[in-house]
């Protein structure tokens, strides 16, 4: 949206929150605009995000800064091969004083949960997150314990290390709204990083940079606005054409599920609201397609040998799909 244009009255809160988030978090994170935008959209759409990038590209710092900007509780767990489900969910503890069991809440009882190196957790512990991500509740001893409405999981992965890791199964990958890939910063952004570290007495000072707080009512309204973005019938057909093409595309062994189609529409609506519009256009779908679909598709072995990746396949599918008239 150009400077002289104003956001649609129906999505002013979403537009305002996105603009403020970019400006405020940008005071701490140099560059990485895609990471900031997609992390904001993850929360506004009510989903969870998988963040992939090499160490040292501000994955953890970005999530912590987003939590501070939004005024939400933040907790972090470090994935290790010996981590048990109780280390995340908590457990029931017997009290000799009362002769009763009480719930000792684990780190999952928060608003922002950062699961660092989730692929280092054993499968049983990874699976313990499924219920909390999908239903926003934790069941222990047959009793359900609700999680906060803003409960959001940000899980990080290092794409280069495979020793001692447990690949996430497709069922769990499908629970993540989007997958964010974090590249190295550009030359100018990396120079800004060096300048900021040079100006700080301690590198940790960057994490304490004051951020203008966000009104919780603005956050709640922004979520409602995204859900209310209009989708014309032709855009439904366009969304379905993209998703259904993944199921018979020659390079793919596994295509996108109906949940993927619903998530693609939701994130596209988030892009529309973030751009100040209360209606969907094809470009919103194109912007959302790669982060929403890249982790849900499985390449055929021969396609991997030919150098394909899911990002390229989604790009090819977008090119091959006719735009709505």
Instruction: Specify the pLDDT at position 204.
Output: 64
DSSP code of 57? Answer: S
Instruction: Specify the pLDDT at position 7.
Output: 64
- Exposed / middle / buried, residue 103 (Cβ in 10 Å: 0-12, 13-18, 19+): middle
Among residues 50, 44, 112, the alpha carbon closest in space to that of 266 is found at: 44
CATH code for residues 229-325: 1.10.8.80
**Ranges of the chain whose pLDDT falls below 50:** 2-4
Say if residues 264 and 289 touch (Cβ distance below 8 Å). yes
Instruction: Specify the pLDDT at position 4.
Output: 44
Say if residues 292 and 263 touch (Cβ distance below 8 Å). yes
As assigned by CATH, the class of the 14-205 domain is alpha beta
pLDDT, tens digit (0-9, with 9 covering 90-100), for 17-35: 898 888 888 888 888 888 9
Instruction: Specify the pLDDT at position 5.
Output: 61
14-205 and 229-325 have identical folds: no
Among residues 289, 75, 51, the alpha carbon closest in space to that of 180 is found at: 51
pLDDT, tens digit (0-9, with 9 covering 90-100), for 70-117: 888 999 999 888 888 888 888 777 667 776 767 778 899 999 999 998
Say if residues 136 and 151 touch (Cβ distance below 8 Å). yes
Q: Per-domain residue ranges for the chain? A: 14-205, 229-325
Q: What is the largest CA-CA distance in the chain?
A: 71
Instruction: Specify the pLDDT at position 210.
Output: 77
Helices and strands, number each (H, E), in the chain: 13, 11
Rounded to whole angstroms, how far apart are CA atoms 52 and 178? 11
Rounded to whole angstroms, how far apart are CA atoms 83 and 35? 28
Say if residues 277 and 226 touch (Cβ distance below 8 Å). no
- Exposed / middle / buried, residue 110 (Cβ in 10 Å: 0-12, 13-18, 19+): buried
Q: Helices in 170-257 by DSSP H: which ranges?
A: 170-173, 187-199, 216-227, 233-245
| Strands of 202-311, DSSP E | 252-254, 298-299
């Amino acid at each position: 949206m150009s400077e002289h244009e104003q956001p649609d009255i129906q999505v002013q809160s979403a537009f305002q929150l996105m603009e403020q988030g970019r400006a405020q978090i940008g005071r701490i994170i140099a560059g990485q605009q895609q990471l900031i935008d997609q992390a904001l959209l993850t929360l506004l759409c009510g989903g969870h995000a998988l963040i992939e990038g090499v160490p040292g590209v501000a994955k953890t710092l970005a999530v912590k800064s987003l939590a501070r900007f939004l005024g939400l509780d933040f907790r972090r767990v470090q994935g290790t091969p010996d981590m048990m489900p109780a280390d995340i969910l908590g457990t029931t503890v017997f009290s000799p004083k009362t002769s009763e069991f009480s719930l000792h809440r684990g780190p999952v009882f928060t608003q922002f949960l950062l699961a660092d190196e989730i692929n280092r957790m054993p499968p049983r512990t990874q699976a313990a997150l499924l219920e909390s991500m999908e239903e926003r509740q934790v069941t222990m001893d047959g009793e359900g314990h609700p999680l906060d409405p803003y409960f959001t999981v940000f899980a990080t992965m290092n794409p280069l290390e495979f020793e001692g890791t447990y690949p996430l199964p497709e069922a769990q990958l499908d629970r993540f709204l989007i997958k964010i890939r974090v590249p190295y910063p550009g030359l100018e952004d990396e120079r800004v990083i060096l300048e900021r570290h040079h100006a700080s007495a301690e590198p940790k000072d960057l994490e304490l940079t004051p951020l203008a707080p966000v009104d919780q009512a603005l956050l709640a309204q922004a979520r409602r606005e995204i859900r209310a973005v209009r989708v014309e019938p032709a855009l439904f057909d366009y969304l379905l054409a993209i998703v259904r093409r993944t199921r018979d595309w020659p390079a793919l062994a596994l295509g996108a599920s109906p949940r993927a189609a619903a998530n693609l529409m939701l994130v596209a609506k988030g892009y529309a609201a973030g751009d100040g519009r209360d209606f969907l256009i094809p470009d919103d779908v194109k912007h959302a397609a790669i982060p929403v679909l890249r982790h849900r598709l499985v390449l055929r072995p021969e396609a991997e040998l030919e150098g394909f990746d899911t990002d390229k396949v989604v790009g090819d599918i977008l090119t091959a799909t006719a735009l709505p008239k």
